[in-house]
Amino acid sequence: MDKRLIHGTLAAYVAAVLSLFVLAGCGKGLTAASAPPAPDKPGRAPVMDDQVTMDGRGLDLRLFDNNPTPGGPRKPTFWAHVKVFSQTGQDIWSFEDARAVIYGNSEGSEEIVLDAGKGSFQETKMAYLKDGVVAHVGDMKLDLSDIEWLNDERLARSDNPVAISGNDCSLKASSLRMFPDKKQLILTNVSGTLRMRRNEQ
């Protein structure tokens, strides 16, 4: 059954519906990939120094869980492969042509695979992707102008418009929050259609 989503006042309802949607409706499985982010806004991505300390081609960038289970393996939360990079500070990198993966820490959580034209990365803290960002979560495709991964908060966010398409949905929203550990997607000012399926056993 198709349901039309309205704007503004139903944002909380949409968040709950989309949380179920991510679990059962629009997503089935992902192939792994990789890429990191880039800065564009004050206070969001780190400010780069003018002096470049290193340039190169082909680099893997990783963030890890800063509070791992004692005695357990140190698992990555974010991984990106970039084709062109510059180290602009001791722990800050800018890059171009990236593929990235955000990993959830819960069993059955789906990887978020992203491609981006540019981005920035700060060790242990964050990654920022911009310039034609495309993300895939199961069968869902998300088109964004940018997205930021905050490692301590385990949160992916964008305050710019996003378009989501999939087998059971066609949505537009003015901002996005993704919590991969909770398998939760929260959108604001949503419009479009979302088809809810009954669970099949």
- 3-state SS track over 135-186: EEECCEEEEEEEEEEECCCCEEEECCCEEEEECCEEEEECEEEEECCCCEEE
Which of 56-70, 93-107, 157-171 is the least confident region?
Answer: 56-70
The answer on pLDDT for 20 being more than 70 is no
The answer as to whether 102 is a domain residue is yes
The answer as to whether 122 is a domain residue is yes
CATH of the domain at 79: 2.60.450.10
Tens of pLDDT along 97-123?
999 999 988 777 889 999 999 999 999
* Number of compact structural domains in the chain: 1
pLDDT tier for residue 170 given thresholds of 50, 70 and 90 = very high
The answer as to whether 200 is a domain residue is no
Tens of pLDDT along 185-199?
999 999 999 988 766
The answer as to whether 201 is a domain residue is no
The answer as to whether 131 is a domain residue is yes
Q: What is the dihedral of CA 178, 182, 186, 191, to 10 degrees?
A: 100
- Enclosing domain of residue 130: 2-64+75-195
Q: Average pLDDT, stretch 57-85?
A: 88
The answer as to whether 90 is a domain residue is yes
pLDDT tier for residue 66 given thresholds of 50, 70 and 90 = confident
The answer as to whether 69 is a domain residue is no
Mean per-residue pLDDT of the chain:
79
The answer as to whether 93 is a domain residue is yes
pLDDT tier for residue 136 given thresholds of 50, 70 and 90 = very high
As given in the structure block, the two tokens for residue 195 are 């088809």
Q: pTM for this one?
A: 0.72
